[in-house]
Amino acid sequence: MPVLKRHFLLLWLVLLAMPARAQLVLRGRVLDAETHQPIPNAQVGVADNRIGTSTNDAGRFALSIPPAYAGQPLTVALLGYQSYRQMLPPLPGPELLIELKMSPAALGEVQVTGSVLGIVREAVARIPRNYPGRPTQLTGFYRESDNDSLGRPRYLVEGLLTVYKAPYPQRTSTGEVQIRQSRKVDLRSDKLVRIDWAGGPFIAHLADFVHRRAQFIDPGHFRDYDYRLAPGSSYHDRPVYVVTFAPKAGNRRADFAGRMYIDQDTYAFLGAEWRYTPAGLRHSPNLADSRALRVAYQPYAGRWHLKTVWWQTRARLPIGPPLNYFGEFLTTAIDTAQTVRPGYLERAQYHDVFLRNAVAYDSAFWRGHTTLLPPETLRQALLDQQRQHRADSLFRPVAAGDSTSAKDAPQTLFGKFLSRFRYGGMVGAWPLSVAAAGLAVAYAPDGYGFGFQADNSVKAQSFSVYSQFEYQFELTHELAVRLATQRLYGQFRADGWAAGLSYQRNFRPRHRPLYGRAGLAYTRQTAGRELGTFANPDAGLRVAGTHLGADELSAQLQALTEALQPSLGLGLELSHKLELVADASYLLPLRTRTRLQISEESGFFLARSAAVINLPHPDVSLRDNGQLTAALPWQPRPWLFSIGLLYRLR
């Protein structure tokens, strides 16, 4: 491990235990009143849950209290327990000990499936009245880690997010996320094979089963599930339906199995926990062996808002042992008034890897915001791995003050190269003007017993469709070198390439980028017409100085155009990695040639040769509708149009 990485890990673990200084901090521990055992995942709220946190595995929490909330009540709630409520004690102060009492079960086992489904239907129907009907903004703490088969974190990333939520009557699983701060420890020693998970912070949208109307509460899938009532419980001293769901016998369309909690009075979904069925894993887009989630909501201002998300995925990889991917999100503040959507530049993109985000680490920032206290096992695992990496570094010396080892250097240089690399595909209209014609071609070289005659008819057309695959390497943020390959489709066989420079300038630097594009390239394009294949009677045949000894030959009439290609266009950034581009180009011909190409058709394809005869030529007779000519009935026109996508690797 590089020296700076070790120092950062030690500093981070110290800061995890430090009290916040920017605001007053309430520290406490929540225990079961009868067993005196710690209670994890209890919801701790202040000011009727406008700000809050949750307890860790040891039942402990730390909540930063703004001075304006010093006189507000403190509440602690967990499903199955009586809620706790008292006024905030004077701060700073000692750790507050809170004991929760169990609530008796409200219902016994009920097996009437129809009535249980009616409860779920009613809860779905009441989503518009139980959840926010206007945009809301959540501030939340996010953590993800990639653990090995022994449960040790290979990396750990934490961040403070702003999550914009659309109104819940609108069914959606998407939304905006802004990364305000982040910190990380990367303990992975392997450099060649790395799995960097994308989309993690978006779990605040993707796992919100009420907002997205997950399959198990989607009326279109009710027929796929069995719903049953389990023994009831209570939350905030209110009775709760506990509804289990699982695929019906033999059903392969149901992706989930688990349980959900529904308030008996308001029919609000208070939370759910579920796992993916084998069918659900097959329908997932990644290599997962298992996947489980747990989601809870909390009340504020008469509505229910997302509180916590926990999920774990066990993924099998093509190389190496399986990995356990773990993550959690915790809402620490709710704002129903300041809900201005973040601008495009401030928003994270789903395909951005949170582990590599560019937000700088600020220790003072973290001491002033609520985070979820890490479990003791997680802190111990990080320390153990840090010690092991320190021992490993004894055998791999690193120069003092050098934050990058020699082993890391090639990866860093390669990463810098990739960050400047883009590629993409386009389709467009190639301006190939074609007049209807009947062609007759005869070729009879002197001194050989080889020759052929071919008749061919050409249909009239005004343009051809072409595709282009393009590579770009950015010299600066605005200037790039580009190389493109082109292919025409239709009645002609045509290939070509273009090389040059591309320049783009952002017209909207404070919003979603809209680029003006300009370019200049040299292009070489052929448009050919196949004349057929012929037997070669002479193994020593030479055409235009090229030996063609294959048993079978083919012939093609071609128009070859070499030109300068200036272009203008627009580019719209769809995400930080993907750009939609549209260009108009003008061909300035440098040279246009008509030629006959004769190629070998048999033998190993890498060793096949081709000969080109420029027309007019005494050995070639070309007739167009019976008239001798040296010109072809298809010629390029100047304008080209294309539209496509460019993708940035990093």
Q: Domain boundaries in the chain?
A: 1-412, 420-648
Q: Any residues with CB less than 8 A from the CB of 643 and at least 6 apart, and which?
A: 426, 427, 428, 580, 581, 582, 583
The predicted-structure confidence for 179-191, as pLDDT tens digits, reads as follows 998 888 887 766 5
Of 586 and 373, more confident:
586
Residue 19 pLDDT: 41
* Window from 229-243, 299-313, 355-369 with minimum mean pLDDT: 355-369
Mean pLDDT score, 202-211: 96
Torsion-angle region of 2 (φ positive above 0: left; ψ -120 to 50: alpha; else: beta): beta
Q: Residue 518: helix, strand or coil by DSSP?
A: strand
Segments of 108-254 assigned E as strands: 136-147, 153-165, 176-186, 225-235, 238-247
Q: Any residues with CB less than 8 A from the CB of 403 and at least 6 apart, and which?
A: 2, 3, 4, 5
Where do we find the tokens 């033999």? 250
Measured at the CA of 372, the angle between CA 368 and CA 374, to 5 degrees, comes to 115
Where do we find the tokens 């300041």? 338
The predicted-structure confidence for 454-510, as pLDDT tens digits, reads as follows 777 888 887 788 899 999 999 988 999 999 998 888 787 778 999 999 999 999 877
274: exposed, middle or buried (Cβ count in 10 Å: 0-12, 13-18, 19+)? buried
The predicted-structure confidence for 378-423, as pLDDT tens digits, reads as follows 777 777 666 655 544 444 433 333 333 333 334 456 666 777 889 9
Give the pairing type, strands 323-335 and 136-147: antiparallel
Residue 295 pLDDT: 97
Residue 207 pLDDT: 95
Residue 367 has pLDDT above 50, yes or no: yes
Residue 523 pLDDT: 94
The predicted-structure confidence for 138-171, as pLDDT tens digits, reads as follows 999 999 988 877 777 888 889 999 999 999 999 9
List the structure tokens of 564. Answer: 């300068």
452's enclosing H/E stretch is strand 452-458
Residue 611 has pLDDT above 70, yes or no: yes
Model's pTM, two decimal places?
0.73
The residue among 10, 373, 372, 13 whose CA lies nearest residue 161 is 372
List the structure tokens of 386. Answer: 């840090």
**Residue 173 amino acid letter:** S
Residue 401 pLDDT: 35
Mean pLDDT score, 535-560: 84
Of 328 and 71, more confident:
328
Residue 576 pLDDT: 78
For 420-648, CATH gives 2.40.160.20
- How many other CB atoms are there within 10 angstroms of residue 302's CB atom? 9
List the structure tokens of 107. Answer: 């219902």
Which of the four pLDDT bands, split at 50, 70 and 90, describes residue 198?
A: confident
Which of 34-48, 282-296, 349-363 reaches the highest mean pLDDT?
34-48
Query: 378 — phi, psi (to 5°)?
Result: -70, -45
* Window from 258-267, 500-509, 530-539, 578-587 with minimum mean pLDDT: 530-539
Which of the four pLDDT bands, split at 50, 70 and 90, describes residue 439?
A: confident
Mean pLDDT over the full length of the chain:
83
Cis ω for the linkage preceding 92 (within 30 of 0): yes
Torsion-angle region of 236 (φ positive above 0: left; ψ -120 to 50: alpha; else: beta): left
